[in-house]
Structure 1
């Protein structure tokens, strides 16, 4: 595709192409852009007509970029990244705001007091909170800071380990006769195949405990809620189980399933004042919760 053709495009045309490619759906891309499906459909059609080429193949799986779109997408990604860099370096458009990405399982007990602390100590910074499992939003710099469990980050991210995250088996507080010795006799609430990569999930399979599951679900937080209601026993991180008066720990710490709590940022944001200040504030709050994460508050 010639530079003459691509020079016909305005920046908002690149934004449209990039949004459709990232989301693979006109509806989702329109939502991300604050537009509508019909409007975005017309925009794509007009852009393709102006360039004289097809940019997306339409199928039941969604919108897939064609080979002709490859060069445009590379330019769009470059422009998008440069604009984000300029905004952060100049303090334009996002002054006083940053995005914190975290996971669902940290929401009930961990994130609310952290945000209260940040509000008190950093009143000029507004935090946009994103909940999800993927690190893609941090790598693409749609988030400034990520708080999550895991291992050593890749080269695009830098971070610090806050503490270990310990797990154990928990039972409803009203089940007095459950102990480590009779766990194989209990009804279980477990995660499903979507979390089969977890070491705890593999252990449940190896021990034959998946066969005793009365409910399987795709969320650790859901496991916790179901245990509260008395459906069975299950494996939880200690920061969920020990802080819940409706549950009690019925096993030692399962140290083979230990993970680490990380605070991560994109490498390019090293030294940005508002990011550094927020990381330090979050770190101080999290270290006060270290005993909860590491299972010393049973």
Structure 2
């Protein structure tokens, strides 16, 4: 007679790993998209088939036994192998069709990418885009996204891609407050109210610049959104460093200083090495690189003197 454990399936491993990750049945059920009673029943069936308990109940929740830990570890390895396989299969797609998951942040999406995505879909009607907004890097190795469009000077070494442009930043204020922007000297500017990105974005060069040069009591407003930063300056809350591609299209804002090269950041188009030759990824990256190159002068804040926006 066949041994009971020979009937274990991948879904059994997924269930055990989900319980271990969630430390309980209700959260595991939600993660798996099934109800609590189904998780409880299937766990009991698996433990019966193996002839050993996989979890112990503690105050902190479900804690794996030694056997449970081994099963969770194997489930993690299986998940990695399956993900690697799907990446490689995706990399051999015969034509640019299907869904492409792209991650970027809100400011790039609103002020640069959405019109480019529309053009891309016009040219590739068999493609579909699933855009995920996040200021944190998603795990492209786990297929959280297929392509990342990021402003960074240090792209992950595990990814491949191309630098599409250099995003310029400059100091901006509300035009109504600065009728002669070039006349605002640095001492006067530092005595004004400021708007800054929040400390949860402290890794950004612009946040460090403000922290090192502006007294804390002068920072009237913080936000973790670059879009929100521009809105705050336009509302008259204070002055702030902003990406030129966001601020230069707002008539209510004026540059108070030229773009600062020390605050610039590279704009990268990134993907996983296993996907770079996939037709849908290659066509998308080539298209985006060409369209961004056409808009590079705007992104890099070129040819716009202080207080004058070329519209």
Match runs of 1:211-250 below 5 Å: 211-250=217-256
Closer, same or farther in 2 for the Cα pair 1:180/1:149, shift >3 Å?
farther
8 Å Cα contact 1:189-1:215 kept in structure 2: yes
1:169 corresponding residue in structure 2: 171
Q: TM-score, normalised by structure 2?
A: 0.80
CA shift at 1:208, angstroms? Answer: 2.8
Q: SS where residue 176 of structure 2 aligns?
A: coil
1:288 corresponding residue in structure 2: 294
Q: SS where residue 75 of structure 2 aligns?
A: helix
User: Which of these residues, 125, 132, 135, is aligned with residue 133 of structure 1?
Assistant: 135
Deviates more, 1:112-121 or 1:203-212: 203-212
1:74 corresponding residue in structure 2: 77
Q: Write the deviation string for residues 21-56 of structure 1: whole angstroms up to 9, x where unpaired.
A: 7778877765664x1562674377447634434369
2:47 corresponding residue in structure 1: 49
Q: Distance in 2 between matches of 1:233 and 1:5?
A: 69
Gaps of 5+ in 1: none
Q: Write the deviation string for residues 204-242 of structure 1: whole angstroms up to 9, x where unpaired.
A: 111134331111122222211212221111111111111
User: Which of these residues, 252, 259, 270, is aligned with residue 258 of structure 2?
Assistant: 252
CA RMSD in angstroms comes to 3.2
Q: Write the deviation string for residues 114-147 of structure 1: whole angstroms up to 9, x where unpaired.
A: 1111012212111111111233332322311111
CA shift at 1:189, angstroms? Answer: 1.1
CA shift at 1:85, angstroms? Answer: 3.2
Deviates more, 1:275-284 or 1:210-219: 210-219
Closer, same or farther in 2 for the Cα pair 1:201/1:271, shift >3 Å?
same
Whether 1:106 aligns to 2:97 is no
2:11 corresponding residue in structure 1: 12
Closer, same or farther in 2 for the Cα pair 1:165/1:20, shift >3 Å?
farther
Whether 1:190 aligns to 2:196 is yes
Q: Distance in 2 between matches of 1:29 and 1:38?
A: 8
User: Which of these residues, 115, 119, 122, is aligned with residue 121 of structure 2?
Assistant: 119
Whether 1:278 aligns to 2:276 is no
Deviates more, 1:105-114 or 1:51-60: 51-60
1:201 corresponding residue in structure 2: 207
Of the two, which has the highest radius of gyration? Answer: 2
Gaps of 5+ in 2: none
Q: Distance in 1 between matches of 2:132 and 2:220?
A: 32
Q: TM-score, normalised by structure 1?
A: 0.83
8 Å Cα contact 1:101-1:146 kept in structure 2: yes
Whether 1:89 aligns to 2:58 is no
Q: Write the deviation string for residues 86-130 of structure 1: whole angstroms up to 9, x where unpaired.
A: 3553679x9521111111221221121111110122121111111
Closer, same or farther in 2 for the Cα pair 1:79/1:242, shift >3 Å?
same
Q: SS where residue 77 of structure 2 aligns?
A: helix
Whether 1:263 aligns to 2:269 is yes
Q: Distance in 2 between matches of 1:5 and 1:251?
A: 73
Q: Distance in 2 between matches of 1:123 and 1:236?
A: 35
CA shift at 1:18, angstroms? Answer: 5.4
